[in-house]
Structure 1
Amino acid sequence: MIMKIKNILTCLAAIGFTGMISSCSEEILDITPLTNNTANDFYKSEDQVNQGVLAIYNSWLPVPVSSNWYLSEVRSDNTHEIEGGAQRDYKEVGTFTASSQTAAFQTAWTQLYSVVYRSNVVLSKIEGFEFARVSQFKAEARFFRALAYFDLVRYWGDVPLVDKVLSIVEAKNALRAPSADIYKFIVDDLIFASENLPTTYAVTDKGRATKYAAKALLGRVYLTMAGYPLKQTDKLALAKKELADVMAVGTTLFPAPALYKDLFTIANKNKYHIFEVQYISGGKGLGSSLPSEMAFQFPSQWSSFTGGFEGEVEPALLASYARTDARKAATLDSGYVDTKTGATSGRVQFTKFLEKGDASVTSRSDYARNFPIIRYADVLLMYAEILNEEAATPPVQAVQLLNQVRTNAKVATITPATKDAMRLALENERRWEFAGEGLRWFDLVRTERAIPVMNEFIKSHDIPLANGVTKRDLLFPVPLGEMLINPGFWKQNEGY
């Protein structure tokens, strides 16, 4: 599919389609409707609608950096921003000193609403077509729209709910919908997606969203709704059902590799994960910058291009891995010796998405490893969490699922004796398993562990916060650029 996207982008650029997202300050969502002529001239056939759908996939390419890394992973206790370097957005995010003027917020907001916009364009233009893949294309658009809103609502709470292409006037007057309404919208989109997406694809379309990607994501959404801030505990049963459906085909469609590190290699793209963002190197404009954003510097034998993160993996995370844990070496490196220059470094860096020595990389934004949005291990651990919440003591199956993940990582099995011990075991396991993938912050927030964990973190690093981490910090401020489009129309998030 990634090669198809490359060809499609060339076509779309020729007619101005890839320029449909505007940064004009007058537009509340940074989205500009296609002119009627452009849209009407383009969506004339099944192939053109398919190109529009694949353009939605393309719009997600920068999101793992702007969202999963800078707003989630950096916000958590998995990274430590080293003092003394240049002031960066990620330092403000990671030390809880960010404001509505922090550029990283505007970047993520704009990119996520760009996904929403492209999805809405496809949904508006597909009406009236009767070819066989109409329902699939609608489902793919709604899957991505739900994925974008899931990030938006967790970062900002109440956000504009846009289910159609808006005029500039409509966009300027769009209200922030209550977060509960946003979640309902996400659920509706994912239910439709789960009912209309294929279970698998032909080789030429590998990498597209499937029924099980929608179900796994829906399970994660329900689990989030059961936690903070909605605390709709009735959603646990709904999450359990969706995750059980994925587990019923898990060993067939999502087998575990012999080695944990093989989950992420270029050779194993679309082999183990339930859904992943597709990247390709070679100067095609479809590469990933994530390895460079996550690291400070690479030795020449790893890559010809430098990193840019003035921080490191949190020392406590590094120390917490068991000696035999295969995830440690597959996720991070604790220093290097450059084989050409002899330069050394002891800084701990995330290298989970760096294919060391890949000669096809042409720039620091051209790496080829895919980024997983949801993995089968996540399904197992979420299901184990639900089982534990349903019982007074850890059920046998919950412990078995936890240990299935540990065994795959070459770590000894454990048997938590109490419900709280199991909660902590699952929290730790998720941290080790998904480090660098942008799940840690969201896990801490939904389980109401963010405030105590992060206050301990800032204390250990002497980060000067007068009031510590508080409820205010569980949401980000709405970007200033959005607030100024229609001054006084929106109320800023509490405390900002």
Structure 2
Amino acid sequence: MKAFTRFICTAALGLSGALASSCKEDILYIPPVANNTVDEFYKNETQVNQGVMSIYNGCLSLPENSYWFLAEFRSDNVAADVATVQRDYSDVSNFNATSQTQQLQATWTDLYEIVYRSNVLLERIQPFTFARVEQFKGEARFLRALAYFDLVRYWGPVPIVDKTLTIEQSKTIPRAPVADVYKFIIDDLTFAAESLPSTYVVTTGSATDASNKGRATKWAAKALLAKVYLTMYGYPLRQASALPLAKQQLMDVYAAASPTTFSVAQNFADLFKSANDNRYSVFEIQYQSGNTGLGNPIPWQQGQVFPTFWSPFTAFAADFTLPPALFGANWPKIDKRKAATLDSVIRNPTTGAIVAGRPQFTKFLEKGVTGVQSRTDYPNNFPIIRFEDVVLMYAEVLNEEAGSPPAMALTLINQIRTRSGLAAFTATSPEAATKDAFRAAVLKERRYEFIAEGQRWHDLVRTGNAISVMTAFKRATTGTTPTGGANFRQLDEHDLIFPIPILELRINPGFWEQNPGYN
């Protein structure tokens, strides 16, 4: 699929209509050759497939703008200083973001661009009857649901848009209640699970291989649906009825694991190597190097200083540090995930000499990688739903529905622990003594398993731990300014979502109300 992800579908609006009103259309109207518009596209199956690829293309920015700058910086995985000058990542991290924080607008725009492209595809595909019509619809609705899942978790009530709109129509779409947004997501994912294939026909070395590898599958839809249900079980909806629904989806995906679909990687570091793209995960964002604008920017964004024997391009070096919980006895060296996730000492591979540096995330950096032509041109994919996520969610669900952790829940969490070099939990382990103890153990396991992948903040929110954990974390790790350190304010419920971007509010002033607690 990577060969197609650069296609972008655009809509021609405004100027052409104004000109046509005063001149002859057959003279003025010349179909563009270099840049296809929606009206001139979607003429056959090949072009419809390219339209589907345009939706995947819209997802390329999510790991950077959504999972890194919003989710990770909001969590206790990153300790960002209170900046002396305005920095979006500092404001997000220190709960100082406002409706004018540009990172919020960038992420909002990215997510609704995916929604828009999905809606265009779903409308333009209607006249066709070729065999892949239902698959293409399923892919569009899966990706639309993925976008809305982020939108509702970041902003709460958001407008539901299920068709393309004129400018005037867009001004009259209300923000839908959170429960309605989740219902919309469930409808999309249920359709996707019923319409997408379990696997795609892949012929090694052919065009078929390039166009199908990495596409969303039935299992990706069911795994995301399970996460949606598990989130609905937690904050803010707290729907007990969602738990068994999550369990059923997880059981299905877990049973489908195999060496040819997805599985737990026995070597944790292998998960993030480009040679293993689409091998272990249920669904990934597809990247490729080659200076075509399709490369992965995450290694550059998450690092601090890359010596030349790691990469020809140094890292972004945003002003953040790694928190104490990632060092010492808190996260023991025996856990193989630690060395594969961060570096606190940089050594020259030839001399062994220590190179000056600061602790940094190197999870997505393939050290010594060749062929990278810019800071945002790394080749490895970014996982959206790893099979390990399915395993740990399944363990969590089994524990939640029982009075104490059942044997299967222990089996599941131990799949992750033993692969990581840690001792397995037994029925007599403190972590298995009570439902609460096991719940805390799963949350801790998820932190170290998915650190730097944009999962931690959402886990803290849905489990009801965000306010207490993040208040204590900020008081312990931020500076001593009036907004940091011991003086850091007590967080409250309004901090669990972001303010609506100011530009969105100005589209129709007074129509939408700002989220409580924000200007």
Q: Same fold (TM over 0.5)?
A: yes
Report the AA paired with residue 432 of structure 1: Y
**1:406-427 deviations in Å (ceiling 9; x for gaps):** 1111111123211111011001
What is the TM-score normalised by the length of structure 1?
Answer: 0.92
2:338 is paired with a residue of what secondary structure?
helix
Q: Retained in 1: the 8 A contact 2:99–2:502?
A: yes
Q: 1:240 aligns with which of 216, 234, 247?
A: 247
Task: Identify if the C-alpha distance between structure 1 residues 84 and 486 changes in structure 2 by more than 3 Å, giving closer, same or farther.
Answer: closer
Report the AA paired with residue 223 of structure 1: L
Q: 1:211 aligns with which of 211, 218, 242?
A: 218
- Give 1:354 shift: 1.1
Task: Identify if the C-alpha distance between structure 1 residues 364 and 21 changes in structure 2 by more than 3 Å, giving closer, same or farther.
Answer: farther
Q: Retained in 2: the 8 A contact 1:318–1:328?
A: no
The reply on whether 1:487 has 2:509 as its aligned counterpart is yes
What is the TM-score normalised by the length of structure 2?
Answer: 0.88
Q: Retained in 2: the 8 A contact 1:384–1:398?
A: yes
Q: Which structure 2 residues correspond to residues 150-169 of structure 1 after superposition, within 5 A?
A: 150-169=149-168
The reply on whether 1:230 has 2:237 as its aligned counterpart is yes
Q: 1:326 aligns with which of 317, 331, 336?
A: 336
- Give 1:88 shift: 1.6
**Number of the residue aligned with 1:315:** 324
Report the AA paired with residue 321 of structure 1: W
Q: How many residues align?
A: 476
The reply on whether 1:429 has 2:445 as its aligned counterpart is yes
Q: Distance in 1 between matches of 2:84 and 2:307?
A: 20
Task: Identify if the C-alpha distance between structure 1 residues 418 and 250 changes in structure 2 by more than 3 Å, giving closer, same or farther.
Answer: same
- Give 1:472 shift: 0.9
> Unaligned 5+ residue runs, structure 1?
23-34
1:174 is paired with a residue of what secondary structure?
coil
Task: Identify if the C-alpha distance between structure 1 residues 288 and 21 changes in structure 2 by more than 3 Å, giving closer, same or farther.
Answer: farther
**Number of the residue aligned with 2:17:** none
Q: Retained in 1: the 8 A contact 2:305–2:357?
A: no
- Give 1:272 shift: 0.4
**1:32-88 deviations in Å (ceiling 9; x for gaps):** xxx9x9323201101100000001001000111000001101100001114567542
**1:291-344 deviations in Å (ceiling 9; x for gaps):** 111112211111121222211222212332222111101111113146799883
The reply on whether 1:303 has 2:311 as its aligned counterpart is yes
**Number of the residue aligned with 2:458:** 442
Q: 1:254 aligns with which of 256, 262, 271?
A: 262
- Give 1:483 shift: 1.0
Q: Which structure 2 residues correspond to residues 13-162 of structure 1 after superposition, within 5 A?
A: 17-18=9-10, 38-82=37-81, 87-162=86-161
2:507 is paired with a residue of what secondary structure?
coil
Q: Distance in 2 between matches of 1:84 and 1:218?
A: 38
- Give 1:206 shift: 0.9
**Number of the residue aligned with 2:356:** 345
Q: Which structure 2 residues correspond to residues 410-425 of structure 1 after superposition, within 5 A?
A: 410-414=421-425, 415=429, 416-425=432-441
| Greater displacement, 226-235 / 244-253 | 244-253
Question: Percent identity of the aligned residues?
Answer: 54
Q: Retained in 2: the 8 A contact 1:21–1:114?
A: no
Q: Retained in 2: the 8 A contact 1:295–1:312?
A: no
| Greater displacement, 347-356 / 182-191 | 347-356
**1:391-438 deviations in Å (ceiling 9; x for gaps):** 111111111111111111111112321111101100100001000110
Report the AA paired with residue 495 of structure 2: D
Task: Identify if the C-alpha distance between structure 1 residues 150 and 21 changes in structure 2 by more than 3 Å, giving closer, same or farther.
Answer: farther
Alignment root-mean-square deviation, CA: 2.1
The reply on whether 1:357 has 2:364 as its aligned counterpart is no
Q: Distance in 1 between matches of 2:306 and 2:219?
A: 37
Report the AA paired with residue 326 of structure 1: K
Q: State which structure, 1 or 2, has the greater radius of gyration over its C-alpha atoms.
A: 2
Q: Distance in 1 between matches of 2:326 and 2:439?
A: 18
Q: Retained in 2: the 8 A contact 1:299–1:339?
A: no
